[in-house]
Chains A and B, each alone.
Chain A
Amino acid sequence: MNTAIVDPMIPVPYQVRSFQKELSDTFTIELTPASGRRPFHFKPGQFNMLYAYGTGEVPISMSGDPADPSKVVHTIRAVGTVTDTLMALREGDNIGLRGPFGSSWPVEAAEGHDLIIVTGGIGLAPLRPAIYHVLKHRKKYGKVCIFYGARTPEDILFRKDLESWRGRFDMYADVTVDRGTGDWAGPVGVVTNLITRGRFDPHHTVAFVCGPEIMMRFSVQTLNGLGVTNDRIHVSMERNMKCAVGLCGFCQFGPTFVCKDGPVFRFDRIQKIFPVREL
Chain B
Amino acid sequence: MVQIDGLGKLLAEHPFFRGMDDAAMEVIAGCAANERINADTYLFREGGAADKFYLVRHGTIALEFHVPGRDPVVLSTVHEGEIFGWSWMVPPFTWTFDAKAIELTRLVSLDAKCLRGKIESDHSLGYDLLSRFIPVLADRLNAARLQMIDMYGRP
Contacts and interface: CB of A to CB of B under 8 A. Distances in A.
Given A178-B146, A189-B147, 4 more contacts: A178-B152, A186-B77, A197-B82, A212-B152
Contact of A150 (B75, B103, B152, B155): B152
B62 interface: yes
B77 A218 contact: no
Interface of A: 25, 79-80, 120-121, 149-151, 155, 178-180, 184-190, 192-193, 196-197, 211-212, 214-215, 218
B42 to A, nearest CB: 16
Contacts of A79: 154-155
B79 A178 contact: no
A246 B151 CA distance: 30
Nearest to B149: A214
Contacts of A197: 79-82
B3 interface: no
A196 B150 CA distance: 21
A25 B152 contact: no
Contact of B152 (A121, A180, A186, A196): A121
Interface string B72-93: 0111110111100000000000
Nearest to B60: A187
Given A120-B152, A215-B151, A190 B146 contact: yes
A218 B102 CA distance: 27
Interface of B: 60, 62, 73-77, 79-82, 102-103, 139, 142-143, 146-147, 149-155
Contacts of B154: 25, 79
Contacts of A179: 73-74, 147
Top-3 shortest CB links A-B: A180-B74, A121-B152, A189-B76
A215 B142 CA distance: 11
A151 B76 contact: no
B47 to A, nearest CB: 22
A185 B142 CA distance: 23
Contacts of B143: 189-190, 192-193
Given A190-B143, A197-B81, A218-B146, A120 B76 contact: no
Given A185-B102, A190-B143, A190-B146, A214 B151 contact: yes
Nearest to B148: A178
B149 A188 contact: no
Contacts of A193: 76, 143
B34 to A, nearest CB: 22
Contacts of B152: 120-121, 149-151, 155, 178, 211-212, 215
A21 B30 CA distance: 58
A196 B80 CA distance: 11
A151 B150 contact: yes
A88 B82 CA distance: 46
A151 B102 CA distance: 20
Nearest to B153: A151
A197 B15 CA distance: 11
